[in-house]
Amino acid sequence: MATVTGRVLRCNGLPHEHLFGRSDPYVVVKAIDSEGKEVGESRTPAKKGSDVEWAGDEAVFNFADVHFDGALEFRVWDKDLGPDDVLGQVVVPIKLICFEETELTLSLGINRKLNAAGKKTPNGTITISMKIDAHHHWL
């Protein structure tokens, strides 16, 4: 077992989901156990734009007692008047998280919708900073 701590720093190049105006992205971070069940959740406040940053402690996550075979899921949502839309997501296996604070920029996948040219486009990137602290009996 271990504790994973970190912070969502920014998202860049997010798709525009609103017909008029900018997206209002926020990030939901979920800790997932080895069986695929959610064991913790954290979320950032919504921001405006396709390139957004979260400062200070407003986007911190901390999951205690995560298992080495689990994962963290970072899902970027667009806040809407109706149901919120998923802009992109990435899953990071716990066993790939470093023991020292590390900044990672990860792809949020490819948009399923076709653009005006009939091509699929990237969903943008998410930049996170995180580390894992092993509990003494874990190693």
User: DSSP assignment of 19-78, as one string?
Assistant: SSS---EEEEEEEE-TTS-EEEEEEPPP-SSSSEE--TTTTEEEEEEE-TT-EEEEEEEE
The pLDDT tens digits of the residues spanning 10-65 come to 999 998 766 666 789 999 999 999 999 999 999 999 999 999 999 988 899 999 98
Residue 43: how many other CB atoms lie within 10 Å: 15
Does residue 139 carry a pLDDT above 50? no
In terms of Cα–Cα distance, which of 112, 130, 129 is closest to 121? 112
The reported pLDDT for the residue numbered 101 is 95
Helix (H) or strand (E) holding 91: strand 85-93
Backbone φ and ψ for 104, nearest 5 degrees, come out as -125, 135
Does residue 2 carry a pLDDT above 70? yes
Do β-strands 52-53 and 102-107 pair in parallel, antiparallel, or remain unpaired? unpaired
The pLDDT tens digits of the residues spanning 56-104 come to 888 999 999 898 899 999 999 998 888 988 999 999 999 999 999 999 9
Report percent pLDDT > 90 for the chain. 63
Structure tokens at 47: 């921001």
The reported pLDDT for the residue numbered 16 is 74
Structure tokens at 102: 């590390």
